[in-house]
């Protein structure tokens, strides 16, 4: 890992990183988010009893769209031509949903922000679709699980517990 903030120039000003001299390599990142809710809310999602439709399907599409638009949300993020975006939602009884997103490309910069954005927006979409019945939902534990490729190599999140 670097000891410097790459998005600051030598005078401390915000700066988009120049990746033009970097070689294109295969890059992949996986991120995760959790949504905790009432047991009844999760049961409604699982039984497809939501009047707005399939909550997981809508959240999956939202996560995919968000990953593709990350550069529009994060000011110094590069626009990337992603080759794969996978968003998985899993009901974890009695009261949580686990969201895992993986983004891939062959390119000059990493896809960590795209994976994190996909997981975050999928979680926000679950909240949006279910807020009428459960405003106390909690979105949390958003984190990068792993990343591969590029100069900094491989990163794997390890639970310190």
Active-site positions read 128
Q: What is the 3-state secondary structure (H, E, C) of 4-41?
A: CCCCECCCCCECCCCCCCCCCEEEEEEEEEEEECCHHH
Neighbouring C-beta atoms of residue 160, cutoff 10 Å: 4
The count of other CB atoms within 10 Å of the CB of residue 21 is: 6
H helix runs in the chain, sequence order: 39-46, 55-68, 70-73, 112-130
Q: Which residues pair with 99 in a beta bridge?
A: 33, 89
Q: How far apart are CA 123 and CA 109, in angstroms?
A: 25
Q: Is 78 annotated as a binding residue?
A: yes
Binding-site annotation: residue ranges for substrate: 76-78
């Amino acid at each position: 890992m670097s000891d410097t903030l790459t998005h600051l120039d030598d005078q401390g000003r915000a700066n988009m990183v120049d990746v033009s001299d970097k070689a294109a390599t295969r890059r992949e990142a996986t991120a995760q988010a959790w949504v905790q809710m009432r047991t009844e809310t999760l049961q409604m999602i699982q039984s497809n009893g939501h009047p707005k439709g399939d909550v997981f399907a809508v959240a999956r599409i939202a996560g995919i769209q968000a990953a593709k638009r990350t550069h529009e949300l994060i000011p110094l993020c590069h626009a990337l031509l992603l080759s794969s975006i996978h968003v998985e939602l899993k009901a974890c009884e009695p009261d949580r949903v686990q969201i895992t997103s993986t983004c891939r490309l062959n390119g000059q910069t990493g896809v960590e922000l795209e994976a994190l954005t996909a997981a975050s927006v999928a979680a926000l979409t679950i909240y949006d679709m279910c807020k009428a019945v459960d405003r106390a939902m909690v979105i949390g534990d958003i984190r990068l699980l792993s990343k591969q490729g590029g100069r900094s190599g491989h990163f794997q999140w390890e639970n310190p517990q």
